[in-house]
Amino acid sequence: MRPISDLDWRGRAEPRPDLVISRAAVLDPRAGIDDVLDVVVRGGEVAELAPPGTGEAEGAEVIDAEGKHVFPAFFDPHVHLRTPGGEDAEDVETGSRAAAAGGYCGILAMANTIPPVDTAADISALRERAAAEASVPVGFLATLTRGMAGEELTEMADLSDAGAVGFSDDGLPVRDANVLRRALSYQRLAGLQIALHEEDPDLSGKGVMHEGPVSAVLGLEGIPAVSESTMIARDAALAAYEGARIHVQHLSARESVDVVAAAKAAGVAISCEATPHHLTLTDEEVRTLDARFKMNPPLRAEADRQALVEGLRAGTVDCIATDHAPHPPQRKEVPFEEAAMGVTGLETAFAVIHTDLVLPGVLDLGLVVERMSAGATAFGFAPPTLAPGSAANLVLFDPEPEWEAGADGWESRSANSCFDGRRLRGRVLMTVAAGGVAYRQRSFALGVAT
Amino acid sequence: MRHLLGVDGMKRSDIERILERAESFAEVGRRDIKKVPTLRGRTVVSLFYEASTRTSSSFELAAKRLSADVVSVKSVGSSVDKGESLKDTIATLSAYGPEAIIIRSPHAGAANLVTRWTEASVINAGDGKHEHPSQALLDVFTLRRRVGELDGKRIWIVGDVLHSRVARSCALAFTAMGARVTLAGPPTLIPRGITEGIECEVAHDLDDLGEADVVYALRMQHERMRGSFVPSLREYAARYQIDSRRLGSRQLLMHPGPVNRGVELSSEVIDGPSSLITEQVESGLVVRMAILYELLTSGERPRGRRAAAGEPDSSELIAPTPIGEPA
């Protein structure tokens, strides 16, 4: 597995200050660490986990973290940075800053830009942008098919050599089963994960929300749960046949969790993700007819939400991904049916899960922390860890403060969060990505130097 | 009430208050001079993004009968047609200081959205397949005039429920008034999960239509074959058309119009003695007058702006006395 620091970000050239994060509740389930400790960061690495009050590093900034948590930083395998073509909504600089503010030490950007990222030259250009502008390491996927047209494969091997981190036509399903079959076969040459937006376009039709009692009352065309689950079943069968591996993006339906569980039990190399909004909200939100709650796949019923939570707990759902999808106001301040699909999510992801699932006791904190960075594994990156000797990828999180999402504005260029205005509990204070300080929360006083 | 966005959320008492007001306007309508000065000097904007004859004309006439100044904007040929966003259009029209904006849109929730951008009362004159509350209120009004209270009455709404905002608003209004509603039609045209969303029953054939006190037929659009909703209009008509064979003599017939003769209704029942279709159209005017009255003269309106402009407070204007008659 590759280190996250293989990805491009501007911090590579910047100094890596030494830090002592003192008396923190350090939690890294992957490394079996759960204790109050001093985290000593030296030379960009976790140099030492010392008994509380004993950590030292010459010239280091000392941060009093009593009552606060240190976790391995998060990794998001599914964001939209809208570069090129959608810079009015987001770009590499603003999107990666939003990621840093959410506690992420690495993100992977989707290729459904305008035009789509489908050539080695596109990948090289984006990597240069990231090296110049990105607050945290950013990887770029290429499309699976040229122009996302679903017809011809991209030059997958060349794209791989150019530094693409995976392939996906995210935003659209691969409608033609034979095209996907060829891509899965070609994966033996090109390597890299193939990430799939699973949806049967015929079943989805012009649907704009989950098909169920709420869509029935609102008179909005529904997207049935089987639109997603039948495509996952098809593609899991294709992956098994070709001996390929696939990553299923943004699971939303109970039926889909069942299909993935069955595929895993049958030995298919399949991983999948769920978003914070699908884990915490349902289609009841759409009763407001507020386009902030419009995304694809749509918010579904309570039984679906619970199945996702259970799937996350059981490991059927491997990781939490945001599907951070920024849009400018004019694409959201329109009637629901006309509005763009997608919501932002990087800046609220962990606080939302912490507020709605951890604090009420639904999910264990350690499990959530693990799932927040497990997306790295699915794409062949070593997940962040706090084990001494590892690259410093960590997040300092205060579980106490209550804050209103969006009240202080957003780091993202866009504000289309479905949690805007929500009271959330717990806040990211600082993010260290690949050894560099990528983010400090404004209200968080700079560490008290001793 | 401040806005009329849908029947969903309306209480029975709200509906009854509007219908009683409509009765008083019906009385005015029988006089020689049909106009009342209630909304004199106030502006009502009518904004229609979809073709409409009866709803737009009846709202406009209702506003004029109340002496309001009416501005009508149709999407064809207007800046709306040139790609102006709804938000910008509302900002433009709000410059006239309207007290009410009546909007019809092909998109669900358009009226709800407009409330964010204007101080005017917003009236939903049909939003996509979502709601058409003034139609439902006039239907309840029509029916109550004929049969009295709806408590315990059985009403079958027959046809393309899936694509019908009238069906949704009527089902909500009829149940709010105590009636028992059955939605009948082919399984492909009954929205999945509707019985969990609206208190009603569902039938896929008309075998038990005889139990209905009222049969409310919906318009069946010709393009429904293309989406594989029904194999043919012929097969649809054979199974769901309301004709003299299916409609008993004590059963009443309603339809929101315009009717496809020979599809959802046979000609003989449209013009038959059980048909309330003409009365529905007549009710439209007085019910829409009552809706405007309810929204524009109730205490829930912000009054600062008008008072500052030196205009009389709305509470002084409530009596619907016809112009030219002694108060």
pLDDT at position A13: 77
Query: Are B113 and A217 a contacting pair at CB < 8 A?
Result: no
Tens-digit pLDDT profile for residues A331-381: 999 999 999 999 999 999 999 999 999 999 999 999 999 999 999 999 999
H or E element that contains B140: helix B133-147
Task: Provide the pairing of β-strand A245-248 with A269-274.
Answer: parallel
- Name which of A218, A283, A294, A302 to mutate to probe chain B: the one with the most chain B Cβ atoms within 10 A of its Cβ: A218
Within a domain: B318: no
pLDDT of res. A444: 67
Is B259 touching A (CB cutoff 8 A)?
no
The 3-state DSSP class for residue A430 equals strand
The answer to whether B118 contacts chain A (CB < 8 Å) is no
Query: Tens of pLDDT along A396-422?
Result: 999 999 999 999 999 999 999 999 999
State whether residue A289 sits within 8 Å of chain B by CB. Answer: yes
Q: Are residues B114 and B176 in the same domain?
A: no
Q: Does A218 touch chain B (CB under 8 A)?
A: yes
Q: Which residue type occupies A176?
A: D
Q: What is the pLDDT of residue A15?
A: 80
Q: Are residues B231 and B174 in the same domain?
A: yes
| Record: contact B86-A335, CB cut-off 8 A | yes
Q: What is the pLDDT of residue B314?
A: 44
Tens of pLDDT along B92-106? 999 999 999 999 999
Q: Which of A217, A288, A338 faces B168 most closely, judged by CB atoms?
A: A217
Q: What are the φ and ψ backbone dihedral angles of A318, each rounded to 5 degrees?
A: -75, -35
Q: At what angle do helices B12-29 and B277-297 cross, to 10 degrees?
A: 110
Reference A168, options A148, A152, A182; nearest CA is A148
The partner residue sitting opposite B165, judged by closest CB among A214, A219, A334, is: A219
Of A219, A333, A338, the CB nearest to B129: A219
Q: Report how far residue B49's alpha carbon sits from residue B74's, in angstroms, rounded to the nearest whole number.
A: 6
Radius of gyration of chain A (CA): 21
Domain assignment of residue B225, yes or no: yes
If asked whether residues B305 and B216 sit together in one domain, one would say no
- Same structural domain, B147 and B236: yes
The nearest CA of chain A is from the CA of B193 a distance in Å of 4
The first and second tokens of residue B115, run together, are 């409330």
**Torsions phi, psi for B142 (to 5 deg):** -60, -45
Interchain proximity A289–B108, CB inside 8 Å: yes
**Is the residue at B43 inside a domain?**
yes
**pLDDT tens digit sequence for B60-73:** 999 999 999 999 98
Q: Are residues B119 and B163 in the same domain?
A: no
| Interchain contact, A220 vs B128, CB within 8 Å | yes
Burial class (CB in 10 A: 0-12, 13-18, 19+), B192: middle
Residue B299's pLDDT is: 64
Query: With contact defined as beta carbons under 8 Å apart, do A108 and A78 qualify?
Result: yes
- Only one residue has tokens 């429904």, namely B224
Comparing A266-280, B17-31, B46-60, B223-237, which segment has the lowest mean pLDDT?
B223-237
Contacts of A212 in chain B (CB under 8 A): 192-193, 196
Task: Name residue A36's beta-bridge partners.
Answer: A25
Residue A204 has pLDDT above 50, yes or no: yes
Question: A76, A200, A235, A323: which is the annotated catalytic residue?
Answer: A323
Local confidence band at B228 (pLDDT 50, 70, 90 cut-offs): confident
The rounded distance, in Å, linking the Cα atoms of B98 and B68 is 10
List chain B residues with CB under 8 Å of A216: 191-194, 196-198
| Residues in chain A within 8 Å Cβ distance of B226 | none
Strands B69-74 and B43-48 turn out to be parallel
pLDDT at B322: 55
Chain A residue with Cα closest to B196: A213
Of all helices (H) and strands (E), which one includes residue B233?
helix B233-240
Q: Partners of A27 in the beta sheet?
A: A34
Q: Are residues B271 and B146 both part of a single domain?
A: yes
Per the CB < 8 A criterion, the answer to whether A257 and A270 are in contact is: no
**Domain membership flag for residue B111:** yes
What pLDDT sits at residue B34? Answer: 85
Strand pairing of A222-223 and A45-50? Answer: unpaired
Distance between CA atoms of residues B2 and B292, nearest Å: 10
The DSSP H or E segment spanning A399 is strand A394-404
Asked if A213 reaches chain B (Cβ–Cβ under 8 Å), the answer is: yes
| CB pair distance less than 8 Å for B85 and A334 | yes
The whole-chain average pLDDT of chain B stands at: 90
CB pairs under 8 A between A and B: 76
Q: Which of A121-135, A284-298, B211-225 has the lowest mean pLDDT?
A: B211-225
- Please report the residues numbered 300 through 319 in chain B whose beta carbons come closer than 8 angstroms to any beta carbon of chain A: none
Asked whether residue B199 is domain-assigned, the answer is yes
Structure tokens at A32: 């079996």
B109 with A336: Cβ contact below 8 A? yes
Higher pLDDT, A307 or B27: A307
Q: pLDDT band for position B315 (50/70/90)?
A: very low
Contacts of A106 (CB under 8 A, 6+ apart): A4, A7, A73, A75, A76, A136, A137, A138, A139, A376, A381, A384, A393, A433, A434
Listed ranges A353-367, B62-76, B219-233, B291-305; the one with the highest mean pLDDT = A353-367
Q: Does B128 contact A at CB distance below 8 Å?
A: yes
pLDDT score, position B306: 45
Distance separating alpha carbons of residues A297 and A275, to the nearest angstrom: 10
pLDDT above 70: residue B317: no
Structure tokens that stand for B84 in this block: 């102006």
Asked if residue B52 lies in contact with residue B59, where contact means CB atoms within 8 angstroms, the answer is: no
Q: Which residues contact A131 (CB under 8 A, 6 or more apart)?
A: A8, A9, A10, A12
Look at residue B187 and tell me if it is in a domain: yes
Minimal CA–CA distance to B203: which of B242, B156, B247?
A: B156
Query: Nearest C-alpha of chain A: how many angstroms from B133?
Result: 13
Which tokens hold the place of B93? 């029209």
Please indicate if any CB of chain A lies within 8 Å of the CB of B197. yes
Establish if B194 touches chain A: CB-CB under 8 angstroms. Answer: yes
Q: Is residue B202 part of a domain?
A: yes
Angle between helices A302-314 and A254-265 (to 10 degrees): 30
What pLDDT, in 10s, does the model give residues A156-176? 999 999 999 999 999 999 999
pLDDT digits (tens, 9 = 90+) for B22-42: 999 998 888 888 889 999 999
Q: Cα separations (Å) of A151 from A112, A123, A181, A182, A196?
A: 15, 21, 12, 11, 15
Closest Cβ opposite residue B197 in set A216, A224, A336? A216
Check residue B305 and give its pLDDT.
46
Which two structure tokens, joined as six digits, stand for A292?
A: 């902030």
A323 noted as active-site residue: yes
Q: Average the pLDDT over A303-320 and give the result.
A: 98
B47, B165, B172, B196: which to substitute to probe chain A, counting the most A Cβ within 10 Å? B196
Over residues A318-329, the mean pLDDT reads 98
Show residues of chain B in contact with A214, CB under 8 Å.
193, 197
**How far A173 CA sits from the closest chain B CA (Å)?**
21
- Which B residues 53-92 touch A at CB under 8 Å? 85-87
- The pLDDT > 70 percentage for chain A reads 98
Residue B127 shares a structural domain with residue B177: no
What would the pLDDT profile of B106-127 be if each residue is shown by its tens digit?
999 999 999 999 999 999 999 9
By Cβ distance, the residue of B112, B191, B194 closest to A289 is B112
**A212 — contact with chain B (CB < 8 Å)?**
yes
- The Cα–Cα gap between A46 and A386 comes to 6
Instruction: Catalogue the E-assigned strands of A82-190.
Output: 104-109, 138-140, 166-168
Under 8 Å between Cβ of B8 and B172: yes
Q: What is the CATH number of the domain that holds B56?
A: 3.40.50.1370
Residue B163's domain spans which residues? 133-280
* Contact assessment for residue A208 and residue A294, using Cβ atoms and an 8 Å cutoff: yes
Give the number of other CB atoms < 10 A from CB of residue A58. Answer: 6
Residues in chain B: 327
Q: Are residues B253 and B204 in the same domain?
A: yes
> What is the structure's pLDDT at B302?
57
- Whether B99 and B25 map to the same domain: the answer is yes
Tally of domains in chain B: 2
Do B121 and B213 reside in the same domain of the chain?
A: no
Whether B108 and A218 lie within 8 Å, measured CB to CB: yes
Q: What is the reported pLDDT for B52?
A: 87
- Report the SS3 class of residue A145: strand
Q: Which of A111-115, A306-310, A429-433, B306-310 has the lowest mean pLDDT?
A: B306-310
* Cβ distance of A213 and B8 shorter than 8 Å: no
Chain B residues in contact with A333 (beta carbon < 8 A): 85, 87, 113
Whether B24 and B103 map to the same domain: the answer is: yes
DSSP assignment of B51-87: --SHHHHHHHHHHHHTT-EEEEEESTTSTTTTT--HH
pLDDT of residue B31: 86
**3-state SS class at A33:** strand
Calculate mean pLDDT across residues A77-81. Answer: 98
Give residues with Cβ within 8 angstroms of B182, minimum separation 6: B154, B155, B156, B157, B200, B201, B202, B203, B212
**Hey, what amino acid is at B244?**
S
Q: Which of A380-412 are b and which e, b meaning 16 or more Cβ less than 10 Å from the residue's Cβ?
A: ebbbbbbeeebbbbbbbbbbeeebebbeeebbb
| A336 has a chain B CB within 8 A of its CB | yes
pLDDT number for residue B310: 41
Is pLDDT of B311 > 60?
A: no
Q: Which domains does chain A have, with CATH numbers?
A: 4-70+389-440 (2.30.40.10), 73-378 (3.20.20.140)
Q: What mean pLDDT is predicted for residues A22-46?
A: 97
Q: Of the candidates A216, A224, A334, which has its C-beta nearest B86's C-beta?
A: A334
The reply to whether B325 falls in a domain is no
Contact flag A216-B165 (C-beta cutoff 8 Å): no
Residue A448: is its pLDDT beyond 50? no
Q: Of the candidates A216, A220, A335, which has its C-beta nearest B113's C-beta? A: A335
State whether B206 and B167 are in the same domain: yes
> Which amino acid, one-letter code, is at A11?
G
- For A300, the token pair is 């579904």
- CB neighbour class for A425 (10 Å; exposed up to 12, middle 13-18, buried from 19): middle
Identify which of A213, A215, A337 has the shortest CB distance to residue B107: A337
Q: Which of B166, B169, B171 is nearest to B182 (CA)?
A: B171
Asked if A429 and A398 touch (Cβ cutoff 8 Å), the reply is yes
Inspect the interface and report whether the beta carbons of A336 and B105 lie closer than 8 Å: no
